[in-house]
Amino acid sequence: MSFHVRFTLEAKADIERLYRFLAEHDFDVAERTLETIDSAWSLLEQFPFSCRKIDDANPFLREFIISFGNSGYVVLFEIEDSNTVTVLAVRHQLEDDYY
């Protein structure tokens, strides 16, 4: 089974914000980061239930880590139904939490 991955406007804005920040410092790193993040969506398409639950009260709200260099990115997502996964937020591991 394959899930359709969709993004909230906030998640898209997160990815753009992260890219802009990196591009100001090193364009090549920004491009490699974006490629790494884009390739990670295949995990959500195939195995969203393999990711860590973040709330026992809602087993469909989950997160996963995208490794990059010495740190990485954290993706918050929700399994909407048997066909759809929605990415809610993306942040760097050194940023404050989503909430």
For the entire predicted model, the pTM comes to: 0.90
pLDDT number for residue 98 = 59
User: Residues 37, 43, 46, 52: is their CA dihedral positive or negative?
Assistant: negative
pLDDT at 65 over 90: yes
The pLDDT score that the predictor gives to residue 70 is 87
Question: CB count, 10 Å around CB of 96?
Answer: 7
Q: pLDDT tens, 7-55? A: 999 999 999 999 999 999 999 999 999 999 999 999 999 999 999 999 8
Say which residue, 10 or 97, is predicted with more confidence.
10
Beta strands in the chain (DSSP E): 4-7, 52-53, 61-68, 71-79, 84-92
CATH homologous superfamily for 4-92?
Answer: RelE-like (3.30.2310.20)
Residues 6+ apart with CB under 8 A from 33: 18, 19, 22, 68, 73
Query: Residues with Cβ < 8 Å from 89, sequence gap 6 or more?
Result: 8, 10, 11, 14, 75, 76, 98
Whole-number percent of the chain with pLDDT over 90: 86
